């Protein structure tokens, strides 16, 4: 048995985030009676596929991805269309795959990268690096070490008594550090993270974590880079736990679970709520996270509808036009959980 142990140290913030996530899961479980409806599952799966591929520079819109998965023909790059089809087939296999199996990982990669690269379903045979423009930000270990390192990582995960929320994030970081494949490492790492969490709680099979990662893409890569330099994954773990908490706080999960009128919540408002998370943010900060530059559009399609539906509230309600104004979610107060006598 290998004595491999990923470099990682626990922080108070990680402990607090795990507690908050578990509380949110408890709320959703009560409100949803233990399951999410099929429509919500499909909607979240499509968001996951679109966001995970968008992170990898796939240019297809959410509407185009939805059309492809509905069997419709669209105009687009054939390789990008193939990426969508492959990702959907791979995610459909998710419930049948064993997340503790290296063989299952290779099977999933073969499907994910089918007809896209020659080495689909195989560990890479050459060296790879992670680039930020023309700058190398991470040089992965030599290809000869990959099979052993991946096996050690899987063995560590199975043996570790660390909380699944924490060790799945550590696994995610280590997976990206090893970079076991010639291509597809990002989408496979994010999918496997969800699978490991789904084994712990089924909700995570359907939670669109990738959608929020996409809105915080630079933070995601910065956390990977910082953890790499520090030889300690705690920074990355903290970010992933924060993203999970913010995703759980999104009304697309809680609202549907509570049988509220979430069908009336627009895609734009959902994006705003995901970008907001559980923070207080200004108009400028929200627009930056949403990658918007036109303030009237932001107010008309995002901010004002969210305020009108009482999904968010002003931090300074008595001074609505204050230049220090910020906004925060108020959806938790809409779904009080009554304690039994």
The residues carrying an active-site annotation are 179
In degrees, to the nearest 5, what angle opens at C-alpha 110 toward C-alphas 89 and 146?
135
Distances (CA, A) of 200 to 135, 197, 312: 38, 5, 31
Distances (CA, A) of 217 to 52, 57, 214, 291: 10, 11, 5, 11
Alpha carbon 51 to chain centroid, angstroms: 8
- Is residue 76 annotated as involved in ligand binding? no
- Is residue 187 annotated as involved in ligand binding? yes
Phi and psi at 2, nearest 5°, equal -70, 145
Residue pair 253/36 in contact (Cβ under 8 Å)? The answer is yes
- Is residue 302 annotated as involved in ligand binding? no
Instruction: Say which residues have a Cβ less than 8 Å from residue 223's Cβ, sequence separation at least 6.
Output: 235, 236, 238, 239, 240
Distances (CA, A) of 279 to 84, 99, 269, 276, 327: 32, 33, 16, 6, 8
- Is residue 34 annotated as involved in ligand binding? no
Which helix (H) or strand (E) segment is 314 a member of?
Answer: strand 312-314
Q: What CA–CA distance (Å, rounded) separates 281 from 274?
A: 12
- Is residue 173 annotated as involved in ligand binding? no
- Is residue 86 annotated as involved in ligand binding? no
Distances (CA, A) of 289 to 271, 274, 285, 331: 10, 10, 6, 20
- Is residue 221 annotated as involved in ligand binding? yes
- Is residue 220 annotated as involved in ligand binding? yes
Give the residue numbers of the binding site.
183-190, 220-221
For the annotated binding site for ATP, the residues are 183-190, 220-221
């Amino acid at each position: 048995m290998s004595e491999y142990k990923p470099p990682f140290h626990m922080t108070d913030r990680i402990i607090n985030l795990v507690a908050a996530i578990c509380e949110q899961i408890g709320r959703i479980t009560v409100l949803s009676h233990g399951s999410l409806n099929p429509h919500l599952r499909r909607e979240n799966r499509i968001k996951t596929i679109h966001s995970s591929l968008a992170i990898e520079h796939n240019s297809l819109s959410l509407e185009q991805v939805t059309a492809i998965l509905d069997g419709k023909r669209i105009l687009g790059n054939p390789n990008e269309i193939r990426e969508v089809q492959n990702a959907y087939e791979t995610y459909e296999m998710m419930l049948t795959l064993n997340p503790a199996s290296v063989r299952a990982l290779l099977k999933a990669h073969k499907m994910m990268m089918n007809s896209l690269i020659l080495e689909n379903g195989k560990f890479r045979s050459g060296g790879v690096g992670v680039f930020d423009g023309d700058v190398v930000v991470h040089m992965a270990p030599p290809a000869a070490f990959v099979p052993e390192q991946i096996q050690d990582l899987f063995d560590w995960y199975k043996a570790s008594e660390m909380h699944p929320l924490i060790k799945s994030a550590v696994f995610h970081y280590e997976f990206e550090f090893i970079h076991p494949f010639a291509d597809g490492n990002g989408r496979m790492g994010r999918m496997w993270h969800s699978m490991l969490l789904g084994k712990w709680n089924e909700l995570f099979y359907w939670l669109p974590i990738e959608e929020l990662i996409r809105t915080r893409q630079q933070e995601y890569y910065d956390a990977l880079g910082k953890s790499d330099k520090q030889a300690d994954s705690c920074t990355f773990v903290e970010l992933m736990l924060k993203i999970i908490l913010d995703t759980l706080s999104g009304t697309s999960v809680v609202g549907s679970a509570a049988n509220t009128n979430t069908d009336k919540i627009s895609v734009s408002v959902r994006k705003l709520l995901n970008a907001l998370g559980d923070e207080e943010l200004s108009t400028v900060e929200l627009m930056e996270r949403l990658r918007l530059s036109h303030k009237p559009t932001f107010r008309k399609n995002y901010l004002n509808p969210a305020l009108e539906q009482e999904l968010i509230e002003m931090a300074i309600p008595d001074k609505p036009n204050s230049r220090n104004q910020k906004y925060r979610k108020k959806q938790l107060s809409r779904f009080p959980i009554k304690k039994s006598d």
